[in-house]
Amino acid sequence: MFMEENMILQVENICKHYQQFALNNVSFALPKGAIMGLIGENGAGKSTTMKALLGMISLDSGKISIFGHEGITAQDREAIGVVFDELAFNQTMNVSDIGKVMKNVYRNWEPEQYQQYLEKFKLPQKKQIKDFSRGMKMKLSLAVAMSHHAKLLILDEPTSGLDPVVRAEILDLFLEFIADGESSILVSSHITSDLERVADYITFVHQGKVLMSKNKDDILYSYGIAKADRETIHSLNSSLVMKIKDGKYDSEALIRDKESFSKQYPNVLVDAISLDDLMVMLCTD
Amino acid sequence: MKGLILNDLFSTKKMLRTLVFIILVFDVVWGSMGQPEAASVITSVMCISYFLNLFSYDEFYRWDKYAVILPVSRRQIVLARYAVTGLFSLVSLLVSAIYLLVMRVPLGDIAGILGAALLVHLYAAGIEIPMCYKFGTQKSRLLLMLMMFIPFGLFGGFAMLFQQAGLSLPTDIIPFVIIGAAVILGLGMWLSIHLSVRIVSRKEY
């Protein structure tokens, strides 16, 4: 299914059933040196997918390969940096305490690198974490995740609740991280504009299923939204239309191939699409 | 595992200062009332119940969820928690011993108090740690009270019955009772660790 040697992470048909929710045959592959954005509405299955990747939950079926082999070992964990939406350390600790803890957790821990990140992020050494802003806590999480020679970062909502300046700094850091061509990032986010800026691939999860997992530029360049009156929209060639949404006065159709569509329907206006538009079109009835 | 132990110690360092202060107050107050043994028992109970705070922190900050993604096995996560609890126990026994020596309590009494405290520590930690992993801290606190009540209630009940019947425990079997209790608690601790590892290994986060 995938070119295995180029992939840092491969997820094949994973299933996990809960009483109220299920992951159904989730599949995607993340190449080396790339950033993949995991998008979807709340409860779509993004976090559950990440938990499955990290071995936090057992799978009912399916296969996950990280660093070219199936399953996740303690050695793999040495090379995976994880950021959850909340900092997991006791907040009476300071960054220096955390450094001492992590030095004894990761064999490849780099105190100098950690120190560099702390200085870069202007995080005070002796201040208790509880006095940090949300942006500072997120920067600290990233500093920890990136100070042990990680090859894969798995980040769950790392930019939520942060102001645009901090987000921009963090996104630049992501780009620096993958610059060696060997390291990759899987990041879930509701702030799709961030992903439009840095992601190479987008995997869209909806109700526990992968609706699409594609190159971001392919999505943004080939998909579009056709807008016209209801009659025109409903008469369009169904092979080009992914979804139709009827408004009060007119209708919109999600088009999968803008170029072919424009050739076939030169008189129908097609707007460029954003990831937000795509989500709204595909997630609403 | 050292990192996990350090994390527990750093997590509690601020609370430990408060604990030390409270213990000092108790020691001074009970000592001045001529009951240093009581202060020592309180020190011991406070220290051993302290590991419950570690579980509370785990749940509150979601450290338990984070720990499983670190390059440590789930077995190491559990063993680290037992090690820290053991450390608290050891420190509390040491503090009690020093305090009782300073207060000039007879050596035989000190040995008895510390032996009893150690048995209580083993019993409380052995029962409570797997329960915390299984049911969470809140439920486990209540269960701990119940579990502490059962053996001491039974022991007290039997003692009272013996007294009412005019019987007394032959003194020559007391060492065997203590050794028996220690063996049972040692085996119980092994079972407790085994059970905790099993619970955590199967747990989904």
- B72 near A CB under 8 A: yes
Q: Residue B92: its pLDDT value, please?
A: 86
Q: Which residue has the tokens 């009940």?
A: B157
* Best to test chain B binding among A90, A93, A95, A128 (most B CBs inside 10 Å): A90
For A117, residues 6+ apart whose C-beta sits below 8 A from its C-beta are A139, A142, A143, A146, A147
Distance CA B174, CA A154 (A): 59
What 3-state DSSP class applies to B128?
Answer: helix
pLDDT at residue number A172: 92
* SS3 label, residue A216: helix
Which pLDDT band holds residue B172 (cuts at 50, 70, 90)? confident
Instruction: Pull the structure tokens for residue A250.
Output: 């007119």
Contact list in B for residue A55 (CB cut-off 8 A) is 68-69
Q: How high is the pLDDT of residue A253?
A: 93
Cβ-nearest to A104 among B3, B11, B15 = B3
Are the beta carbons of A138 and A163 closer than 8 angstroms?
Answer: no
Domain boundaries, chain B: 2-202
Burial label, B123 (beta-carbon count in 10 A; 0-12, 13-18, 19+): buried
Minimum-distance CB partner of B61 among A55, A88, A101: A88
CA dist B41 and B181 (Å) reads: 19
Q: What is the mean pLDDT of chain B?
A: 86
Look at residue A251 and give its three-state secondary structure. strand
Best residue of A48, A105, A148 to probe chain B, by most B CBs closer than 10 Å: A105
Asked if B10 has any chain A CB less than 8 Å from its own CB, the reply is yes
Query: Residue B177, Cα to own-chain centre: how many angstroms?
Result: 20
Under an 8 A CB cutoff, do B14 and A55 touch?
A: no
Write the DSSP assignment of A46-90 as a string of letters: HHHHHHHHTTSS--SEEEEEETTEEB--HHHHHTEEEE-SS--S-
Confidence class of residue B169 from pLDDT cuts 50, 70 and 90? low
Closest by Cα among A191, A77, A11, A107 to B66: A77
Q: What pLDDT, on a 0 to 100 scale, did the predictor assign at position A4?
A: 65
Domain ranges within chain A, ordered by starting residue: 4-219, 223-283
Helices (H), A146-189: 164-178
Whole-model pTM: value is 0.86
Q: Among B181, B188, B77, which Cα is nearest to B127's?
A: B188
CB A228 within 8 A of CB A265: no
Which residues pair with residue A11 across a beta bridge? A28, A64
Residues of chain B contacting residue A54, judged by C-beta atoms under 8 Å apart? 68-69
Residues of B in contact with A104 (CB under 8 A): 2-3, 6
Q: Which residue has the tokens 């013996």?
A: B162
pLDDT digits (tens, 9 = 90+) for A22-64: 999 999 999 999 999 999 999 999 999 999 999 999 999 999 9
H or E segment at A210? Answer: strand A209-215
CB of B11 within 8 Å of any CB in chain A? yes
Residue in B4, B10, B75 to test binding to A, most A beta-carbons within 10 Å: B10
Q: Which residues of chain A carry a pLDDT beneath 50?
A: 1-2
In this prediction, does ipTM exceed 0.90? no
| Cβ contact, residue pair A89, B7, below 8 Å | yes
Return the sign of the alpha-carbon dihedral for residues A195, A99, B52, B71: positive
Position B90 pLDDT exceeds 50:
yes
* Residue, of A17 and B185, whose pLDDT is higher: A17
H helices of B103-136, in order, are: 107-135
Specify whether domain A4-219 bears CATH 3.40.50.300: yes
Q: Measure CB to CB from residue A88 to each of B15, B66, B204 and give the nearest one.
A: B66
Residue A1 is predicted with a pLDDT of 47
Residue type, B35: Q
CA distance B132 to chain A (A): 18
